[in-house]
Amino acid sequence: MPNKIRVNISVDKELKENSAKLFESFGLDFSTAISLFLSQSLREGKIPFEITKVEKKEAEHSDDYMQFLND
């Protein structure tokens, strides 16, 4: 079994809650989802998605996504 340590991070409360709900819909808990992100970053040798500047209008969540979060 891998040797695990606790990692503490600070994030916006709403960001954490909404992310956890999304991850749960994939059958993942928050810790597993973050571990997947870290593993994929190491595997690819980079952040595993493109980071781009997004206009505020584009960054707003769709009505369907906001409904999912509120269900």
* DSSP annotation string for 27-68: T--HHHHHHHHHHHHHHHTS-SS------HHHHSPPHHHHHH
Q: Is 27 part of a structural domain of the chain?
A: yes
Q: Is residue 1 part of a domain?
A: no
> What's the number of domains the chain is made of?
1
Is the residue at 43 inside a domain?
Answer: yes
Query: What is the residue range of 66's domain?
Result: 13-70
Per-residue pLDDT band for 14 (boundaries 50, 70, 90) equals: very high
Whole-model pTM?
Answer: 0.68
In this model, does residue 25 exceed pLDDT 70?
Answer: yes
For residue 62, pLDDT over 80 is answered with: no
Instruction: Evaluate whether residue 8 is within a structural domain.
Output: no
**Do the domain assignments include residue 62?**
yes
Whether residue 37 lies inside any domain: the answer is yes
